[in-house]
């Protein structure tokens, strides 16, 4: 019997090629989307799974609102780990990471140039106890115990030394001066880890740790990991840690501010530390100062929903096409029933048909997914592959195939098997009726999803456009940023002067602090020479030179910018409007603020403060992503040689770049030259949004495409059913356009209904998404209209092919069709 079903299915597929292709292609695309997204979701969920201790590792994080700044960051002070381990017996071991950003690295004693490496972490010697990566050479117990020793990943060992063994005992020169001996080589850390580390430097000898103040709420620079003893209840540990944090904050508050924690918190400010599970970091942690950009559980959900929708659209296509074609199958169904087949048998026949189609679709989907994978990886910035040899992958795939067959096949099977044998044996009768209505609702559902996706895509792009064109308070266009400028060492100023001689260069500034992803540090200032919570201003401290304002293009609102004519400017500060607001100064220019010197070891004395006079107010500018509101910021004259920003006036930057690179190579021949355009780096802050935009766009195109496949198939069958009617109408004088309108009208009505459903839903969903942005675009009604027109136009084009064809048939032929 199964053989008979199979034969009929295959012959039916071959007989109705258009139907088969639309059905299989639609379902194939739907399954391919789902497959890609599920692999992505699986990858996102697999973070830290390689680490057998992952469940037992917790990371302390800070949550401080003080002096006008809110910091919720993945870092903590250096003493937190040893303190907590001493107080809480649950802690078995701990390890701290200090991320100092990128380093220039070269091998000692060779003429090979520096590489700029950014996956470098300074870690405690316990690293391998918490992160058991296999050591290919060296001893994990001693590899990181001595000062100025490091271990490196296999890939880096191969890059610098050719083999793992060659690397052992060699010396790398960091930042052109510090020698670090290679004491071990480890297997590359799996990419599904929330940090990247190609080099691990020994924490032993680290001055920051050695000089760290004993107070918790200072020097929050360390990513800290606590390994709990086996069997520890995480909830209880979290509570105990919170209690400890409270006790420590109490000490800090009384020592630094001279008040109790309750008094401090009564001002609306707070300072606390908590712990989070390491396994939650990748998808559930959205803190400042993460080691790597994390994933987002929300986006995992959104992507899954979109994939499910595309699959659902494809399943609906399948139902619609199969039931629409029922007139062609009804005779067979009738005969089978007359010959003794019962309904169950017919249902199982149609399910087996669906299963065969699904199987073919899955084959297609696998090929599509394999082809799209490199591109998909680029889009998601992940390293995902189809696990061809993984048994559970195939089990899930087969399971999925059965589920899809059941979803897509149930309605057709129940519908087709319900045919009355007598009716089905009568010549071609239209079996529209209530099933026609159900089909229409399914089309409405499909298009509602597709239109929602179109609106979503448009709004995402609209928001990105808004960000790009928003008045930022500075000029991001036509600025080249040279990275790692400190590599020029003593030549940096000479280099700057040389570049300034270029006719197209108008100004240049040396600073590590730029309104693009770059160095950030918060420092607390006071309105007086005492440390009081109500006098505090916790703001970003940017070290800049005299040319900064000209080059980056901010506006001075009051007072002036730093000027070489004023030697006292070394003790001057320029604040932004947000900082002034926190200080509450009415005529700020000429007023003073006070900063602390050195590290806090206890309550500061008046002499511990340095006085700065305010010389100017800079208009608020967006130095962080537009997701954040503008925080307080102070600019100080000082040297921070991280980057050189160059403003130029030329349509073509190619020649200028060539000149800059030549000058660089002349002055620092062994140092890597790298640059970025400020507007591009600015755009990179919205990478996640761009990615969402691209994914939403691609999936909406696919959703529309698959919906149109269904519509196309449906239109061709409906047109076929109405062939006789069309003939009669034409005989009676209907024009071609009249016939096209007649056939299109019903479908376009459905698309209109879809719009009515989709618009409020899209509005709600996108409104939610926009809440992530502190600065957001308004909903424009034009977007909804445009999305609607687009959907209508696409639907009309799809249908018109069939309806024009039908309208052009010679009426005699159409009348004969029955």
List residues near another protein by CB under 8 A: 1, 4, 7-8, 11-12, 15, 331-332, 334-345, 421-422, 425, 427
Nearest approach in angstroms of CB 25 to another protein is 22
Distance, in Å, from the CA atom of 272 to the CA atom of 443, rounded to the nearest integer, reads 54
Nearest approach in angstroms of CB 357 to another protein is 15
Q: What share of the chain is helix, strand, coil (3-state, %, to 5)?
A: 55, 15, 30
Are 483 and 675 within 8 A, CB to CB?
yes
Task: Select 334 or 616, whichever has its Cβ closest to another protein.
Answer: 334
Among 166, 196, 171, CA closest to 182:
171
Task: Select 705 or 717, whichever has its Cβ closest to another protein.
Answer: 717
Task: Select 341 or 777, whichever has its Cβ closest to another protein.
Answer: 341
Task: Select 15 or 141, whichever has its Cβ closest to another protein.
Answer: 15
Distance, in Å, from the CA atom of 285 to the CA atom of 294, rounded to the nearest integer, reads 7
Nearest approach in angstroms of CB 10 to another protein is 9
> What's the distance, CA 582 to chain centroid?
33
Q: How many CA atoms lie within 13 A of 456 on its CB side?
A: 30
Nearest approach in angstroms of CB 781 to another protein is 45
Nearest approach in angstroms of CB 355 to another protein is 18
Task: Select 11 or 134, whichever has its Cβ closest to another protein.
Answer: 11
| Cβ-proximal residues to 134 (8 Å cutoff; 6+ apart), any chain | 186, 187
Distance, in Å, from the CA atom of 510 to the CA atom of 128, rounded to the nearest integer, reads 39
Task: Select 1 or 500, whichever has its Cβ closest to another protein.
Answer: 1
Distance, in Å, from the CA atom of 648 to the CA atom of 477, rounded to the nearest integer, reads 9
Nearest approach in angstroms of CB 331 to another protein is 6
Nearest approach in angstroms of CB 344 to another protein is 8
Sheet of 644-648: strand order equals 505-510, 644-648, 479-482, 675-677
Nearest approach in angstroms of CB 4 to another protein is 6
Nearest approach in angstroms of CB 346 to another protein is 10
Q: Where are the beta strands (DSSP E) in 418-490?
A: 479-482
Q: How many CA atoms lie within 13 A of 119 on its CB side?
A: 16
Segment holding 594, helix H or strand E: strand 592-596
Task: Select 340 or 733, whichever has its Cβ closest to another protein.
Answer: 340
* Distance between start and end Cα atoms, the chain: 33
Distance, in Å, from the CA atom of 117 to the CA atom of 273, rounded to the nearest integer, reads 31
**Helical H runs in 214-342?**
234-252, 261-265, 281-284, 297-324, 326-338
Nearest approach in angstroms of CB 433 to another protein is 12
The first and second tokens of residue 292, run together, are 């790597």
Nearest approach in angstroms of CB 5 to another protein is 10
Nearest approach in angstroms of CB 786 to another protein is 45
Task: Select 1 or 812, whichever has its Cβ closest to another protein.
Answer: 1
Among 166, 789, 722, 219, CA closest to 458:
789
Nearest approach in angstroms of CB 690 to another protein is 51
Nearest approach in angstroms of CB 6 to another protein is 11
Task: Select 422 or 605, whichever has its Cβ closest to another protein.
Answer: 422
> What's the distance, CA 319 to chain centroid?
35
Task: Select 345 or 382, whichever has its Cβ closest to another protein.
Answer: 345
Q: How many CA atoms lie within 13 A of 235 on its CB side?
A: 0
**Helical H runs in 325-342?**
326-338
Task: Select 14 or 732, whichever has its Cβ closest to another protein.
Answer: 14
Are 371 and 282 within 8 A, CB to CB?
no
The first and second tokens of residue 311, run together, are 């699959």
| Cβ-proximal residues to 287 (8 Å cutoff; 6+ apart), any chain | 61, 72, 73, 74
Among 457, 442, 440, 316, CA closest to 762:
457
Helix (H, G, I), strand (E, B) or coil at 471: coil
The first and second tokens of residue 333, run together, are 């169904």
Task: Select 327 or 491, whichever has its Cβ closest to another protein.
Answer: 327
Contacts 24+ apart (CB under 8 A), 785-790: 786/458, 787/451, 787/454, 787/455, 787/458, 787/755, 787/758, 787/762, 788/451, 788/752, 788/755, 788/759, 790/454
Task: Select 279 or 336, whichever has its Cβ closest to another protein.
Answer: 336
> What's the distance, CA 643 to chain centroid?
26
Task: Select 11 or 141, whichever has its Cβ closest to another protein.
Answer: 11
Distance, in Å, from the CA atom of 482 to the CA atom of 141, rounded to the nearest integer, reads 41
In terms of Cβ atoms closer than 10 Å to its own Cβ (0-12, 13-18, 19+), residue 462 is buried
Distance, in Å, from the CA atom of 149 to the CA atom of 487, rounded to the nearest integer, reads 22
Task: Select 12 or 126, whichever has its Cβ closest to another protein.
Answer: 12
Nearest approach in angstroms of CB 15 to another protein is 7
Nearest approach in angstroms of CB 333 to another protein is 10
Across 309-347, b (16+ Cβ under 10 Å) vs e yields: bbbbbbbbbbbbbbbbbbbebbebbbebbeeebeeeebb
Nearest approach in angstroms of CB 332 to another protein is 5
Nearest approach in angstroms of CB 415 to another protein is 16
Task: Select 304 or 817, whichever has its Cβ closest to another protein.
Answer: 817
User: Which residues lie across from 224 on neighbouring strands?
Assistant: 96
Task: Select 336 or 647, whichever has its Cβ closest to another protein.
Answer: 336
Please report how the helices 343-380 and 326-338 are oriented relative to each other, as an axis angle in degrees rounded to 10: 140
Task: Select 11 or 557, whichever has its Cβ closest to another protein.
Answer: 11
């Amino acid at each position: 019997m199964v053989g008979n079903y199979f034969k009929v299915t295959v012959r039916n597929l071959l007989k109705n090629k258009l139907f088969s292709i639309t059905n299989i292609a639609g379902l194939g695309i739907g399954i391919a989307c789902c497959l890609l997204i599920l692999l992505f979701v699986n990858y996102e969920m697999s973070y830290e799974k390689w680490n057998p201790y992952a469940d037992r590792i917790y990371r302390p994080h800070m949550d401080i609102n003080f002096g006008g700044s809110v910091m919720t960051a993945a870092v903590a002070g250096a003493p937190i780990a040893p303190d907590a381990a001493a107080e809480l017996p649950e802690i078995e071991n701990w390890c701290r990471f200090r991320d100092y950003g990128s380093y220039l690295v070269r091998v000692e004693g060779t003429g090979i140039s520096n590489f700029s490496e950014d996956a470098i972490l300074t870690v405690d010697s316990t690293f391998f106890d918490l992160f058991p990566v296999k050591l290919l050479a060296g001893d994990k117990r001693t590899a990181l115990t001595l000062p100025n020793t490091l271990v490196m990943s296999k890939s880096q060992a191969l890059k610098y030394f050719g083999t793992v063994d060659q690397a052992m005992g060699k010396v790398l020169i960091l930042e052109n001066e510090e020698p670090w001996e290679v004491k071990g080589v480890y297997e590359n850390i799996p990419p599904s880890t929330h940090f990247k580390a190609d080099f691990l430097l020994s924490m032993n000898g680290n001055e920051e740790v050695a000089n760290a103040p004993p107070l918790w709420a200072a020097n929050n620079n360390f990513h800290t990991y606590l390994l709990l003893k086996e069997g520890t209840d995480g909830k209880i540990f979290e509570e105990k840690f919170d209690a400890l944090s409270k006790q420590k904050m109490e000490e800090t508050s009384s020592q630094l501010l001279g008040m109790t924690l309750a008094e401090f918190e009564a001002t609306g400010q707070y300072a606390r530390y908590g712990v989070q599970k390491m396994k939650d970091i990748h998808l559930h942690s959205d803190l400042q100062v993460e080691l790597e950009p994390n994933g987002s559980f929300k986006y995992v959900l959104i992507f899954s929903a979109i994939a499910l929708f595309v699959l659902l659209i494809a399943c609906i296509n399948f139902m619609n096409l199969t039931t629409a074609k029922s007139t062609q199958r009804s005779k067979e169904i009738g005969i089978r029933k007359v010959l003794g087949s019962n309904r169950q048998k017919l249902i199982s026949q149609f399910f087996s048909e669906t299963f065969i189609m699904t199987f073919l679709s899955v084959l297609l989907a696998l090929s599509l997914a394999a082809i799209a994978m490199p591109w998909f990886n680029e889009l998601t910035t992940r390293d995902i592959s189809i696990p061809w040899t993984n048994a559970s992958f195939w089990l899930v795939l087969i399971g999925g195939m059965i589920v899809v067959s059941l979803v897509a096949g149930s309605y057709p099977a129940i519908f087709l098997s319900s045919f009355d044998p007598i009716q089905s044996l009568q010549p071609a009768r239209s079996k529209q009726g209530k099933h026609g209505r159900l089909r229409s609702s399914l089309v409405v559902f499909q298009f509602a999803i597709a239109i929602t996706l179109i609106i979503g895509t448009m709004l995402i792009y609209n928001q990105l456009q808004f960000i790009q064109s928003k008045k930022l308070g500075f000029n991001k266009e036509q600025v080249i940023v040279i990275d790692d400028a400190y590599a020029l060492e003593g030549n940096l100023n000479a280099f700057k002067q040389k570049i300034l001689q270029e006719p197209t260069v108008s100004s240049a500034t040396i600073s590590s602090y730029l309104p693009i992803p770059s160095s950030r540090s918060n420092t607390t200032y006071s309105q007086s020479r005492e440390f009081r919570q109500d006098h505090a201003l916790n703001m970003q401290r940017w070290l800049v030179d005299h040319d900064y304002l000209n080059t980056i293009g901010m506006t001075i609102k009051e007072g002036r910018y730093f000027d070489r004519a004023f030697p006292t400017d070394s003790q001057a500060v320029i604040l932004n409007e947000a900082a002034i607001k926190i200080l509450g100064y009415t005529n700020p220019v000429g007023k003073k603020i006070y900063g602390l010197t050195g590290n806090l070891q206890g309550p500061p004395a008046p002499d511990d403060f340095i006085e700065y006079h305010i010389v100017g107010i800079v208009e608020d500018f967006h130095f962080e992503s537009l997701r954040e509101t503008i925080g307080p910021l102070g600019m100080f004259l000082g040297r921070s040689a991280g980057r050189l920003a160059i403003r130029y006036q030329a349509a073509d930057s190619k020649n200028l770049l060539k000149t800059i690179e030549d000058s660089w190579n002349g002055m620092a021949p062994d140092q890597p030259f790298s640059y970025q355009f400020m507007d591009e780096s600015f755009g990179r802050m919205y990478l996640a949004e761009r990615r969402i935009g691209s994914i939403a766009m691609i999936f909406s195109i696919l959703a529309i495409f698959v919906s149109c496949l269904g519509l196309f198939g449906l239109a061709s069958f409906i047109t076929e059913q109405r062939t006789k009617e069309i003939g009669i109408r034409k005989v009676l004088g209907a024009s071609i356009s009249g016939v096209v309108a007649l056939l299109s009208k019903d479908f376009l009505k459905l698309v209109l209904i879809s719009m009515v459903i989709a618009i409020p839903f899209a509005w709600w969903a996108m409104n939610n998404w926009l809440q992530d942005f502190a600065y957001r675009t308004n909903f424009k009604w034009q977007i909804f209209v445009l999305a609607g027109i687009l959907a209508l136009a696409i639907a009309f084009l799809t249908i018109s092919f069939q309806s024009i064809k039908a309208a052009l048939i010679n009426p005699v032929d159409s009348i004969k069709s029955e």
